[in-house]
Amino acid sequence: AQKVTQAQTEISVVEKEDVTLDCVYETRDTTYYLFWYKQPPSGELVFLIRRNSFDEQNEISGRYSWNFQKSTSSFNFTITASQVVDSAVYFCALSGENAGNNRKLIWGLGTSLAVNP
């Protein structure tokens, strides 16, 4: 079975702090994709990053960075020097190559991040 766990339900930080959002996944697929999406208070779901299972290189995009570790089945997301505009719910998701699930996205429950001024 496939599963995504975001153990942190809510996180509250003060602006300029660094914050890491945890994501742990389970899958039996050898080929799979991991994603992070952001849902700000306005409600839209914004794609942030996709990672495939063969690429364990960490990625940095501005203040955002992602750490993918197959050994621990984790795909963690770090925001450096957080800003109020980072306040949102962040979802981690998994898509496998298993034809049985038609490559649907398996979603975590999300982590609500509040960045306070």
Partner 1 sequence: DAGVIQSPRHEVTEMGQEVTLRCKPISGHNSLFWYRQTMMRGLELLIYFNNNVPIDDSGMPEDRFSAKMPNASFSTLKIQPSEPRDSAVYFCASRGRETQYFGPGTRLLVL
Residue 100: exposed, middle, or buried by beta-carbon count in 10 A (0-12, 13-18, 19+)? exposed
Kindly tell me which residue out of 1, 41, 43, 62 binds partner 1, with binding defined by CB under 8 A: 43
Kindly tell me which residue out of 18, 59, 104, 116 binds partner 1, with binding defined by CB under 8 A: 104
- Pick 68 or 82: Cβ nearer partner 1: 68
User: Mask: binding to partner 1, 63-102, rule CB under 8 A, as x and -?
Assistant: ----------------------------x---x------x
CA distances from 48 to 34, 66, 88, 101 (A): 11, 10, 13, 23
Kindly tell me which residue out of 110, 111, 113, 115 binds partner 1, with binding defined by CB under 8 A: 110
The full length of the chain comes to: 117
Q: Does residue 46 belong to the site contacting partner 1 (CB under 8 A)?
A: yes
Q: Which pairs with CB-CB distance under 8 Å and at least 24 residues apart come from 62-68? A: 66/36, 68/34
Question: Which residues bind to partner 1, rule: CB under 8 A?
Answer: 33, 35, 37, 43-47, 50, 52, 91, 95, 102-105, 107, 109-110
